[in-house]
Structure 1
Amino acid sequence: MDTPAIKQLLDIIEQQLDWGDATTWQSKDFEKLNLLIFEKTKVSLSASTLRRLWGRVEYHHLPSGTTLDTLACFAGFENWRSFTRQQKPTAISANEKTNIGPPPPKQKNSWGLKAALIIITVAATTLIAMYIRKEPAPVASNAYTFSFKPVTRDIPNSVIFSYDAKAAPSDSVFIQQSWDPQTRTLVDKNQHQHTSVYYRPGSYHAKLVVNNQIVKERPLLIATNGWLGLIAHKPVPVYLNNNEFITRDIINLPVSTILKKNIELEPQPPVVEFYNVGNFEPVPLKDFSFSVEVKSGYYEGAATCRFMEVGLITNKVPVVIPLSANGCVSELNLLDGQHMISGKKTDLSGFGTGLSDWIRVRCCSTANKIQYYVNDKLAYESVMPDAKISIVGLGYYFQGTGSVRNVELKRGDKVVFQAFLTQKTP
């Protein structure tokens, strides 16, 4: 994988980001890079894939053509081939580091160095081509069938996919669990069933892929049986019993419960997640109002920023409202149902607050916008997506741990879902 051309592309991205030496990057940096790449290219390269590319995880295979094209596009080139054609030694000045785009060529280069780079480029491109077969295009999509059946209404949930891909012109047939290409699994085109496990709830779009082209795509809702609590952990989350985090009028996971599960809070605290998905009628994003009260439950050491997120899970791109301590708002990212808004480029200071006390978060549709309020002050507003989007679930994410109460979701004036009411919410 460590060919000179790939290494140079990674170096360019590293310089453009200006986050310092990649050997010092932490897990959150690769997760943030995943979001930045998705925002610009609309292709998701998972944090684990990015760690492999930057040599943080041992991996002895070349990246796929899609991965290389995505990285090149993120760096400002048309695709991987365009990058290799333009490949020259680069040096990005301090003023240029924050501008994503192909770096300007140096004016003075020795012919010997140019010749060496040409040889390296040809060798690298040839090596990549050995691993990227050019497949024939699939036949018409009506020649394929694709359906699925969840096994249970609980998490984890296995899904049985049924398919007919005998018409595929090659053996390059995949089932992709979601929008993320990293969830693709090669299947036998002559077989008819494949199973996958979903470890988190949500609204997914499962796909049948032939020769890198989507021939069938269907929405798939992985619901919860009421509320679900978990502690993020790899490869499988640590699931919570209801009596460990639910009481009559509050969701709360005590620090002591986390420690009892042998999960360390230092040096990096875990992420605690709460979900309720598929248990109420879908609410159109164009006609909704939502409110909740949340509170951070841990703010020691690396959790000093007290990051938390309130998520409205939709049948397409979610709405994710970030919160943090005032001094950390630069690290926030807001999802508005169609775009990611970065605190690096946008004033998201309205989402900064003291998080030791309860914070009331509200958002609602109004005219052609979505408005976001923190403690009844307008923090931000975004343009309403054109697509027909409906809210199908709720999610809460805490750095360390946290609490939730007074949850209310409305369609117009009609209350669709309420939970953990401790007081009358206006």
Structure 2
Amino acid sequence: MSLTEKEYIALCKQLIAEQLRLVPDNGTLRQRDLECLADSIEEKSGIRLSLSTLKRLWKKDYDQVPHPSTLQALVSVLGYKDWQEFRLRQAPLPAAPVAEKRTRRLNRWMILPVIAALIVFSWLIAFRSGQPASIKPLVKGPVTFTGNKTVAQGVPSTIVFNYDVSNVVADSFFFQQSWNERERVQIDPGKHYYSAIYYYPGFHRAKLIANDSILKRFKVHITTDGWLPLAHHSFQDSIPVYLPKDGAIKDGALHISRNALTAAHMDINKDLTLSYFNIREFEDTYSDNFSLDTRVMLDSTNMNACPGLRLVVICEGDIFFVSMIRKGCERNSNIKMGEVYEDGIQNDLSSFGRDLYKWQQVQIQVVNKQATISLDGQPVRTIRFKKDFGKIMGLAYHFTGTGGIDYVKLKNGKNKMVYEDEFGK
């Protein structure tokens, strides 16, 4: 007999609780457990589910079917690529035929193997995720976690972290310099310093971890001196190629040419991503009320089948982004406003399929946590989000291949222009 959708959801929650050692209190999760779960989901899937969403999902009387993207984010913690794979892997086996009832009494030598089998089965259930469940650490007093830059601005940037976990009882301790779990490294609890290099600018949240529990976070703001162009062939590249700013502004636009990439020893015949970062704390500008107006374009020499570009607003708590894609490739588009993420697989994002070889105007207007995205002056998407993501700490543009920026205008909630760049016009 197959499980219903709600039974699969209940099973998913049970397995997540087992893997992360979450302890529901009367059917709900404690605040610390919710934060741990939100961090785990973000690290695995790149999607940040709000605490209110997770709290609602773990309510004892919750009887709804969440949005497909929420389900996909949940099962990422368990190592599944999507909800469908989880269902297929967790589908119950056909029931075995019922054996005839025996009247003969079982002696203890027949019972012992059964008990042993049950113990092994229980052990397998507890570790069905493929990794032993981690025990929560015992925190007996204050925990120290701070950091100091060796350079005030720019990249690469080494941060010397100071930590003290003498008041924590745990099996193992780790340092993680950003959201990327691949950057997690084990540290010696008897020492007090660990240094990390940040090769990408941005706003990062380093983590001090005991077993699988986050003890402390430390905010790391790696700023730039104006616009920093860089390139890489894969997002898995830990070290990008920094590109010279000299000559990057031409004909009233910020634009790195293919010749500049070749001079930097980038293989322009391979897929590559060109990025422009401007990381700073913009005056009195917050995620719940701001407006951004810009124009962008891809170079027509791009050989990628589905070229695209992404505009990113970096905040203290998370990121906002708008992705545009070549017409015909709309399935690959996605957007994120606040905690709300939408992709082109399960949403109609056909408006974000554009002729990217022509200048495209992109506007994001956020008023009291309601975001309106306009393309070429026409509103195409309105999204209301709930969470406060703090101050805006930077802007980033990512292009498949080469592309340019015509202008950038950022206003805060008081309609004050806090940043404007027309690149020499």
Q: TM-score, normalised by structure 2?
A: 0.70
Alpha-carbon displacement from aligned partner over 1:42-88 (angstroms, at most 9, x marks no partner): 242389xxxxxxxxxxxxxxxxxxxxxxxxx859779869x9xxxxx
Contact 2:136 2:212 in 1 (8 A): no
Alpha-carbon displacement from aligned partner over 1:224-246 (angstroms, at most 9, x marks no partner): 12211101142410001111523
Percent identity of equivalent pairs = 23
- Aligned pairs for 1:199-278 within 5 A: 199-233=199-233, 234-247=237-250, 249-266=252-269, 268-278=270-280
Decide which moves more: 394-403 or 123-132: 123-132
**Distance across 2 between alignment mates of 1:261 and 1:78:** 37
Alpha-carbon displacement from aligned partner over 1:202-238 (angstroms, at most 9, x marks no partner): 1111221122211222222111122111011424100
The answer on 1:180 being equivalent to 2:180 is yes
- Aligned pairs for 1:29-108 within 5 A: 42-45=41-44, 99=84, 101-103=86-88, 104-107=91-94
Unaligned regions of 5+ residues in structure 1, if any?
1-37, 48-72, 84-96, 112-116
Alpha-carbon displacement from aligned partner over 1:19-55 (angstroms, at most 9, x marks no partner): xxxxxxxxxxxxxxxxxxx9997242389xxxxxxxx
Q: 1:282 to 1:183 in 2, by over 3 A?
A: farther
**Distance across 1 between alignment mates of 2:77 and 2:199:** 33
**Equivalent position of 1:65 in the other structure:** none
Aligned length: 340
**Distance across 2 between alignment mates of 1:335 and 1:393:** 16
**Equivalent position of 1:194 in the other structure:** 194
The amino acid that maps onto 1:351 is: F
Instruction: Tell me the SS of whatever aligns to 1:105.
Output: coil
**Equivalent position of 1:394 in the other structure:** 395
What displacement does 1:133 show?
Answer: 7.2
Unaligned regions of 5+ residues in structure 2, if any?
1-36, 47-70, 99-116
Instruction: Tell me the SS of whatever aligns to 2:351.
Output: helix
Instruction: Tell me the SS of whatever aligns to 1:182.
Output: helix
**Equivalent position of 1:287 in the other structure:** 289
In terms of fraction of residues, the more helix-rich structure is 1
Instruction: Tell me the SS of whatever aligns to 1:102.
Output: helix
**Equivalent position of 1:139 in the other structure:** 139
**Equivalent position of 1:408 in the other structure:** 409
Contact 1:333 1:342 in 2 (8 A): yes
The answer on 1:342 being equivalent to 2:343 is yes
What displacement does 1:329 show?
Answer: 1.0
Alpha-carbon displacement from aligned partner over 1:164-191 (angstroms, at most 9, x marks no partner): 1122324512222123333222111111
Alpha-carbon displacement from aligned partner over 1:299-332 (angstroms, at most 9, x marks no partner): 543x132210011111112111101112111111
**Distance across 1 between alignment mates of 2:134 and 2:356:** 53
**Equivalent position of 2:32 in the other structure:** none
Instruction: Tell me the SS of whatever aligns to 2:387.
Output: coil
**Equivalent position of 2:30 in the other structure:** none
**Distance across 1 between alignment mates of 2:44 and 2:201:** 20
What displacement does 1:198 show?
Answer: 0.8
Contact 2:249 2:424 in 1 (8 A): no
The amino acid that maps onto 2:421 is: A
Q: 1:283 to 1:197 in 2, by over 3 A?
A: same
**Distance across 2 between alignment mates of 1:314 and 1:356:** 29
